Chains A and B, each alone.
Chain A
Amino acid sequence: MKVHPSAAVAAALLLPMCLATAAVGWVAAGERAGAQPFAGIVPLNSAEAAGLAHAGDVLRLLRLGEDPHAVHAVRPEVISSAILRATTVEAAMWSRQVEMIKLLEREGVIDGNEERDALACLAADLEIDDVVEHLAPEGVSGCEPGQALARVAARTSGAGGGQ
């Protein structure tokens, strides 16, 4: 059967729309059914959430009882292949957001001068000036440059990851 030009043009207009609707509908229907089609990186723990700067997920996971000082597995796409194991507060440094650090303080996660100093050293190694200034307004002291970062990275190399 010969196709009328109008029908052919209408089909050409319809096809991309069908693809777009299918993609959007697939996501919507999938998510309603509990799946996650086309999902990007979804944090699996509070350390991943902190590293990705997903503040809402950090707060939610901490309220669900996750220990922010426990060492969590972190996938390579969250921080890097060199950092695959970190605590929530350590991973938060890679968000490079001082607001995230302040959030953890408000939640009572960062407590004591010793922990603040250690985190300030890590922030200094990562060259996040506003976080350093916030954690150590008088300036960092007692830091061996690169040591704090090396200590976090050592967990990965010690566990045989990061290759």
Chain B
Amino acid sequence: MTTTIAANVPAAIDRRAAGNTPAAIDRRAVWLSYGYALIAGLALGHFLLGLPVQLTDSFGNMLKLSASWSDLISGEFTQHAYLRPLLWANLKLVYDLSGGDYFTWFRGVHVAQVLILVLLYVALVRPRALLDAALLPFGLAVLFGLHTFAGTVREAFPINTFMTVLILCFGAALVALAPYRWWNDGMAMLLFVAAALTVETGLLVWVIFVGAALVGARGVSRAGLFGLVALLAAYFYVRFAVFSVGSPGLVERSSGFGFGVLDPDALVARFGGNPIPFYLYNVVTSAVSVLASEPTAGVFRVTSAIMRGGVDLPMVMNLVATISVTAVIALFAWRRRHAWLARQFERDDRLVALFAMVLAANAVISYPYTKDVIMSPAGAFFALAGFVALRNVLGWLPARISPGLATAAIASAALVSATWAVRVVGTHLNLRTGAFVERNEWVYAESSLAEEGVALTDSDKVLLRTLRDEAIFVHPPPPPLELPFRALWGGE
């Protein structure tokens, strides 16, 4: 394998010099890459199928889904803080199609989403040589292993909205970076409307189209871009002027700050007079979180642990893993700075630039409160940028380097890869832990809802028992996992 890769390296390096336009595509690399991505996606899908439909976040939403289409969608335009009608349309569609087989449909959709996401990832990074195929597992590990991704698989409502947005963002990037075709403009507008009306982070689709155009991509025409600008203006007009939906305030939910989490009352007490510093904190920490995995959800956990002298191995590994990828992206940007200043962008340049733009915009959208999963689009583009930066940086390595330098480079690569390997396994372990937790919640569902004073109608109780029986009896829990070297996952 190594010699085969070595034989392809000169061609790969030539390709960089020619500006990402390979003379020939190695079909083996393409097939290997898509094959590996499918295997990785199916494996994650298997762990997803271990999770039942959740009680928390899902049951309450599903109760609303028995309402008529018109009531459900119109209700979304008359509420405060959020405008997400297509989220509910999506849920309602699957709910109605399921015919009562909720687990199969909702979990099936989640698995299908993961598969679509990994295929889009491969389509975006375009592996052309065996060297690319060899790096692809690393890129997918960054995608699956980053802390911002966990919320896209661990939770569902009962469809994971953030995963939907990731797919729409990757789809947008694919259209934006593709050669222009007559239907691209319509597709761009469709993707924007779908994403923006699903969840607020869907507005990033607009950033992707406009950002790609700014760095020379011509997938969407000038007329299409004007259409997108008009749609964005229409979105804000409808949201704020027509329906007065507004935006989330301090009282919406708890949020991380410094070394802890502040509940809404504490937030109001501390920032009620002037929330700007809090919003700035959220924007900055959200961006830094993707680049360094510290802070997470607005809380400086590692820093706090270091100050207490209680830092553990998983914390260190997370920092090493994420900062290493950030460093490779920074190195790529530095080496390409002259070309960028001369406005000479190749496809890999555009992907890295898109990451920077999505990161900034995603962080700004996160201004009201910090939550890792909200930054999942930036995290996913981090994985794209990390892959393309890495393959370019490797391509720049000279054919002859000193043995000491070669040893250091190989050892560093193995160490960083090992940290990501641990993280990606951790994502799967987290799902298995979740399978146990969610089922236990269903066991106690009726009593816990009664204790909370939640009154259920007869039809609500039927739904509750259906979901509970699916979780406990129809799809019994998968076994807990006992992997070697448990300490690597902090006792996950």
Contact = CB atoms under 8 A, between A and B. Distances in A.
A91 to B, nearest CB: 16
Interface in B207-244: none
Contact of A28 (B43, B413, B436): B43
B417 A6 contact: no
A103 B444 contact: yes
A23 B401 contact: no
Interface string B1-38: 11101110110110000000000000000000000100
Nearest to A37: B481
Interface residues of B, number: 64
B420 interface: yes
Contact of A9 (B3, B7, B397): B397
A160 B481 CA distance: 31
A55 B436 CA distance: 9
B135 A21 contact: no
From A5, A13, A25, A36, residue with most partner B Cβ within 10 Å: A13
Given A5-B409, A13-B413, A28-B43, A55 B141 contact: no
A17 B481 CA distance: 19
Contact of B5 (A10, A40, A106): A10
Interface string A39-61: 11110000000000111111110
A32 B473 CA distance: 18
A63 interface: yes
Q: Interface majority SS on A: helix, strand, loop or mixed?
A: helix
B75 to A, nearest CB: 34
A8 B2 contact: yes
Q: Interface majority SS on B: helix, strand, loop or mixed?
A: helix
A11 B47 contact: no
A159 interface: no
B135 A38 contact: no
A36 B479 contact: yes
B50 to A, nearest CB: 8
A42 to B, nearest CB: 5
Nearest to B406: A5
Question: Size band of the A side of the interface?
Answer: 35 or more
Contact of A5 (B397, B416, B471): B397
A23 B40 CA distance: 11
A158 B5 CA distance: 66
B68 interface: no
B425 A23 contact: yes
Nearest to A106: B447
Given A4-B399, A56-B442, A24 B425 contact: yes
Nearest to B435: A56
Interface string A88-107: 00000000000100110010
B424 interface: yes
Contacts of B112: none
Contacts of B428: 24, 27
A17 B472 contact: no
Contact of A17 (B6, B131, B420, B436): B420
A2 B3 CA distance: 8
A2 B10 CA distance: 13
A23 to B, nearest CB: 6
A39 B137 contact: no
A17 B3 contact: no
A56 B476 CA distance: 8
Give me the 4 closest cross-chain CB pairs, A-B, nearest first. Answer: A17-B137, A20-B421, A28-B46, A40-B482
Given A27-B43, A38-B483, A58-B443, 10 more contacts: A2-B6, A5-B406, A5-B409, A7-B131, A9-B394, A15-B414, A23-B425, A28-B43, A60-B472, A103-B443
5 contacts: A13-B417, A14-B138, A17-B138, A23-B425, A39-B481
